[in-house]
Chains A and B, each alone.
Chain A
């Protein structure tokens, strides 16, 4: 596959500027670049989700032209959605058949066999008759991969596929991708901010910066070399000294709290958060962190027990009451939970900060401009939020957090951020002096920034009071349920 002089503009932004590159079959190629560099834009063009303004895509020595994702698939190019199709009512099999020629009725039986064969080939455990809504994120990814394979895809694109899946699942995914490249001679394009993943998986990388292709590199190489290629400089990790003094007051206190949500049950939580303390939550998705964090912010009411904020009993109160006591929650869902699609950056700021009856739009606009500059957001005050790249949306979310909160409850605060941005966001967070409870899929991040760590497994919690006593690999064991 060859890209020739691809251009794409969004208004003033030149999201892809004259990109020409050749991808060879049988290889896994990493697409790197800082937030807003244009990676997703380029991938969507290749997969037919949006047209390029100009430029050509060549396949097997011939220029091709397609207008939508189905068209692209018929040319052998498929993209793994970050949130794979959420048509929950359908079963795995129906989903697999979706998009195949011949329709649902015709080849149910052969399709089932094909599905089972593919699952066996890659060691996926997918029951054809389970509704998709009951699958984990990792399983949905597997299904989506198999579905695309069933459609005869030769080029597979993955945009940040490792958010929300465990280390073991990730390893399985990577093995699959390697096999696809080596055994089936496919081209795999992987967008990721996790350089460890890129090092482990890719055969080569290309780097975008501000819409332009600025470099490429063959593996093997080092993380430092990749960082230098991406940012033109080395990046020092923040070294964090614990700010915690022995007698700091307790700001959030849970006594005998019982949480329950569908499948998950956390019977008895006794937990207190001290002013300025930073607590990292580790664990696979759905192990109870989300439930715990929402309970801390009053978004979920406990079945039993009491929750105190700064000594005041707020059990069963609304999020608004918690808010007033200085507890702020930010979800990782961004557009689903946290930001509002179709509303501009200024409107978001106004929602958070303009509390008077009449909104002073000029002031809100100016403040937005300031926050944009401060948080280095690629975007303008009047852009609708969904026009921003994933990482920039995350920055806006962080920019919306108030300065003087007592406790910040943050779900994956650096999800989708490039290394430099993640470090920078932490800088900002730590200068706020709020107590912080945060979750992360990145164990290095958990180790670096936490005063205490809580590991979740199937609703059980293990508190690690001194992170220096454990290693990343210890954490990995705990996450898998091995608490001893």
Chain B
């Protein structure tokens, strides 16, 4: 209990500190921090359209983050998440381009293919680790690179627009692949929203109450001991990669269906890496994911607005993010020390 309070205090302390420093930075550029805050707030929440943009960023970010909670719990640094999103996007794009069917069938097919593609790509990272001893960080970096090139290959090769159009994208998907919006105000897709919320709840519950969740934790903390306690560690590791990959793949599908309605280079757009940050910030606790992901999505949307209105550079958002991440990590470390002193050593 005491431990939790300490942690909460430290995390909010870090947030306040980071915001303070940012405010200072803004004043140094002759802007009033309050103005900037207001503009940013407007940028994220002023009307349904802007709010929808935040949600549409939040969906893939949350899916990828919740997937990473699984791999981190198993003690794995799944850097390959970005590549898993890209392959998911590519697979979904195939259906979006060529699989002719009415919306009710086409869209779930896109999602399913995205999940399968991401899952297989995740499995690859797992197999590299288990069979060939390639650490998942290196394997992940390589697989990200390959995935990005696969996407580019399809865009500039087989899926090129007929009249040789731009190399920047495939032709638009079929009309049936357009995601239905909830309303004119709320321009996001209900199915994806439900999948995302479902994923949070499912993963949260699976981790807490199933044998799979327990074995993930055991392997994450001490794989050798887990093996001796009867856990099939290799399977557990592989399953973690696959589940994370599948969720990443769905996120990738969302990116192509929602944002572009076509496949473009780097469809994941760094969201996978952002998701790594989210999960580091919350030290792998599933229930926190949606909130932190939402805060990040809002900050990004808000800062875009700040850029256009006040001509402050958008990299300010990057600075703010970096600051928050750093301070929280540092403060987490401090809290660790503090709470550990009480117990052992």
Contact = CB atoms under 8 A, between A and B. Distances in A.
Interface of A: 44, 49-50, 299, 318-320, 323, 329-331, 336-343, 347-348, 350-352, 354-359, 361, 386-387, 400
Which 4 pairs, one residue from A and one from B, show the smallest C-beta to C-beta distance? A340-B222, A340-B225, A351-B229, A340-B221
Contacts of A387: 343-344
B70 interface: no
Given A320-B232, A343-B218, A351-B215, A358 B226 contact: no
Interface in B205-256: 209-212, 214-215, 217-218, 221-222, 224-232
A266 B209 CA distance: 45
B30 interface: no
B184 interface: no
B117 to A, nearest CB: 27
A338 B225 contact: yes
A50 B342 CA distance: 8
Contacts of B163: none
Interface string B105-138: 0000000000000000000000000000000000
Given A351-B214, A359-B210, A49 B225 contact: no
Interface residues of B, number: 22
29 contacts: A50-B344, A50-B345, A318-B232, A320-B232, A329-B228, A336-B222, A337-B225, A338-B225, A340-B221, A340-B222, A340-B225, A341-B222, A343-B221, A351-B214, A351-B215, A351-B231, A352-B229, A354-B211, A354-B214, A355-B211, A357-B210, A357-B212, A358-B209, A359-B210, A359-B211, A361-B209, A386-B344, A387-B343, A400-B229
Contacts of A329: 228
Given A357-B211, A358-B210, A361-B209, A351 B228 contact: no
Contact of B228 (A50, A331, A347, A350): A331
Contacts of B229: 338, 340, 348, 351-352, 400
A50 B230 CA distance: 35
A291 to B, nearest CB: 16
Q: Name the residue among B210, B222, B228 with the largest chain A CB count within 10 angstroms.
A: B228
Contacts of A339: 222, 225
Nearest to B222: A340
Contact of A359 (B214, B231, B343): B214
Given A357-B210, A359-B209, A359-B214, A323 B222 contact: no
Contacts of B345: 44, 49-50
Nearest to B229: A351
Contacts of A354: 211, 214
A319 B225 contact: no
Given A359-B210, A359-B211, A330 B218 contact: no
Contacts of B218: 340, 343, 347, 351
Contact of A341 (B214, B221, B230): B221
A338 B227 CA distance: 8
Q: Name the residue among B214, B222, B225 with the largest chain A CB count within 10 angstroms.
A: B225
B230 A351 contact: yes
B344 A347 contact: no
Nearest to A44: B345
A340 B228 CA distance: 10
A49 B211 CA distance: 36
Nearest to B226: A340
Interface string B132-148: 00000000000000000
A248 B239 CA distance: 42
Contacts of B231: 351
Contacts of B211: 350, 354-359
Given A318-B232, A341-B221, A347-B218, 5 more contacts: A337-B224, A338-B225, A339-B222, A347-B214, A350-B214
B17 to A, nearest CB: 27
Nearest to B343: A387
Interface string B83-111: 00000000000000000000000000000
A45 to B, nearest CB: 11
A337 B233 CA distance: 14
Nearest to B341: A50
Contacts of A347: 214, 217-218
A121 to B, nearest CB: 32
A359 B218 CA distance: 14
A351 B224 CA distance: 14
A165 B225 CA distance: 24
A337 B210 CA distance: 24
Contacts of B224: 336-337
A16 to B, nearest CB: 15
Nearest to A351: B229
A329 B211 CA distance: 21
A387 B231 CA distance: 23
A339 B227 CA distance: 10
Nearest to B221: A340
A336 B224 CA distance: 8
Contacts of A299: 227
A338 B343 CA distance: 22
B226 A351 contact: yes
Nearest to A348: B229
A39 to B, nearest CB: 16
Contacts of B226: 340, 351
Q: Name the residue among A44, A330, A358, A400 with the largest chain B CB count within 10 angstroms.
A: A358
Interface in B300-345: 343-345
B228 A337 contact: yes
Contacts of A352: 229-230
Contacts of A343: 217-218, 221
Contacts of B232: 318, 320
A359 B206 CA distance: 10
B35 to A, nearest CB: 47
Nearest to A51: B341
B327 to A, nearest CB: 25
A330 B228 contact: yes
A354 B218 CA distance: 14
Interface string B180-223: 00000000000000000000000000000111101101100110
A341 B345 CA distance: 13
A347 B227 CA distance: 15
A358 B209 CA distance: 6
Given A358-B210, A361-B209, A323 B217 contact: no
Contacts of B230: 320, 323, 351-352
Nearest to A339: B225
A85 to B, nearest CB: 14
A20 B50 CA distance: 70
Interface in B152-184: none
Nearest to A319: B227
A380 to B, nearest CB: 15
Nearest to B231: A351
A316 to B, nearest CB: 15
B167 to A, nearest CB: 49
A472 to B, nearest CB: 31
